[in-house]
Structure 1
């Protein structure tokens, strides 16, 4: 598992636990325990801390975005995994350094985490919400669309053989 993918998984685990306990858990203890348990020796433990604390700091804005984009799904009624995968993806789209985490990578990573930990419809739901916000950010000029990277010859050959 790639380091950043593992980090997002630890972020999800930490947010899940914090959210499950109605935001009453000691977040720093939760993060430390999850890093120790799920990611001993990861290269960037501070990335986990920064991401979780950033999400919590922007929680109101992230949840308002979810409510605006998916009004038929009140945030508190979205499955706890999906709710927190959305928060991770939205945080990376709206507040992260896009040089470090390109928007398309943030969306793809959120979808992959949803595939691994969410329900059968989670990836489609996550993709729909994040895709809508991505388009809004581009249209508003807050984000510059980056073209998909060209596939290598090896990737093209792999697709043909599938």
Structure 2
């Protein structure tokens, strides 16, 4: 049973996972024990996948965001396994999406500067065969969030 209090708990935790159970309980008008049981249930049911700390990228020396567009001529399981291994070995690649349409994959990279991309590019093309690979630098982040809307849960 998922209700508005569960939704509120998830919204609050997405914004600040360090909130204590007592503060969460107060904000959703529950006792501490009832709130704790709900959080535990939300974790057990998989709504809360994990709790993480988000780092300040500029302070970490990674102010640059690049998006790499990949097209491949091969779509075999072997190629995909090579690609998965290559991207998993490069920590600067923080997201990879398989796409529909004329683009096969989009990679999101975080870098100290644009010039650092060359080393990652060389590593990728040494390990995986591509039909086409191109990159674009993000000039400005207009919106970024890790929170997802909770209104669609029934």
Return the TM-score normalized by structure 1: 0.28
More helix by share: 1
- TM-score, structure 2 normalization: 0.29
- RCO higher in structure (CA 8 A, sep ≥6): 2
Q: Which has the larger radius of gyration?
A: 2
